Amino acid sequence: MKAGFEYVFQNYIYVPIVSAIIGVIFSMFIPNFIIWGCKKIKNVISKSIDVIDISGKWNSFFHEGELLQSELVELKQEGQKVIGEISLGNRKYLMNAEFKNQILIGTYVSENRKKDERGTIVLRRINEQLLSGFCTFVYKDKQVYSSPYVLTYYSYHNAKKGTYSFCNNCVGRFDCCCNCNKIDMPIILPMEAEKIESVSRKAISEFAKKKTNNLYQMKRENDDDKKGCIFYVNNKCSIYDYRPIDCRLFPFDFKEIDGEYWLIYYNSIDICRALPTDINEIRNYAHSIRPLLDMLLPYMSECSDPIFCERLEKQNFVKLYTIKSLKEDITSKT
């Protein structure tokens, strides 16, 4: 009788109750556990495949009308969402963006809500140290300007020490671009001549010669063909923050070849001792040139006049991109 009771209890009471409890537990927790596990796997896959973190400090480079500007841009990223703070002197802007498929698309607005200043930024990732694209600036519902816009990683490139990262370790060490008898003095655009005149308190005729309808060329010290730039003083450029675009561009240049304008660079160590030897690295620097190109385009035919490059005409050079592809940011190998 006792054995019969135990059988009934075990098979008709104990087992069903335990099974019900286990079923309830599984129904409550297992689906959530599966969902959690799937999310974890998805996150691991996305991190390994597509999600790249661009958090950190960056330098921007762009032109604001006739002014070349550089900002400090601090980015913070969580997933695909990016927030940033942009500092340009006393001006500060807040940015909200999305970084997806290696494309950064965002808007920015003045931190001072009383100022109706805002704009857009669209950039693509070139490598871990470089983002390149365009920006617009809007004031009171009117687009003030649109410019090529470049971000370079702050620890890799300090924009205050040269157009390219290789300039950072060159400024103050070498004088190739300022004091070399194998290159010509830089071309000066009209607005540059006026600015240099203002900051140096020298008349334009004292430091430059008018060579074409619009363009000047910097003079050498004491007008001596064997000496360097008139503003190269105490082994440094005395107008560095206001140096011409032609100086910022060097050792790259624009040249007309068979009726088409090209971006080229001079590959002799005597011309630029700091220039990298890796062609892919050199190609990346073309992105930093795009804001300069925008400002040079109205004077491209004059800039290409052989009268400005009598010495450099004798130097070897390498073609990189056509001006059209550079302007449109189609910097594929040619």
The 10s digit of each residue's pLDDT in 123-149 is 999 999 999 999 999 988 877 889 999
Rounded to whole angstroms, the Cα distance separating 61 from 152 reads 8
Q: 205 and 307: one domain?
A: yes
Q: Residue 333's pLDDT is what?
A: 47
Residue 333 included in any domain: no
End residue of a domain, out of 160, 182, 204: 160
Q: 236 and 145: one domain?
A: no
Q: Residue 30's pLDDT is what?
A: 62
Residue 111 included in any domain: yes
- Which contacts of 105-108 are long-range, i.e. CB under 8 A and separated by 24 or more positions? 106/82, 108/84
Q: 182 and 120: one domain?
A: no
Q: 35 and 120: one domain?
A: no
Largest CA distance in the chain: 126
End residue of a domain, out of 112, 145, 160: 160
Burial (0-12, 13-18, 19+ Cβ within 10 Å), 141:
exposed
Average pLDDT over residues 297-308: 93
Q: 151 and 171: one domain?
A: no
The 10s digit of each residue's pLDDT in 308-332 is 999 999 899 999 999 999 988 876 5
Residue 211 included in any domain: yes
Q: Which residues make Cβ contacts (< 8 Å) with residue 295, sequence separation at least 6? A: 63, 66, 68, 189, 245
Q: 114 and 179: one domain?
A: no
**Is residue 32 very low, low, confident or very high in pLDDT (cuts 50, 70, 90)?**
low
Closest CA to 126 of 315, 295, 9, 281: 281
Report the 10 Å Cβ neighbour count for 108: 22
Domain that holds residue 124: 56-160
Written as one letter, the residue type at 9 is F
In the numeric block, the tokens 């190609």 are attached to 283
Q: Which residues make Cβ contacts (< 8 Å) with residue 53, sequence separation at least 6? A: 77
Pairing status of strand 187-188 against strand 130-139: unpaired
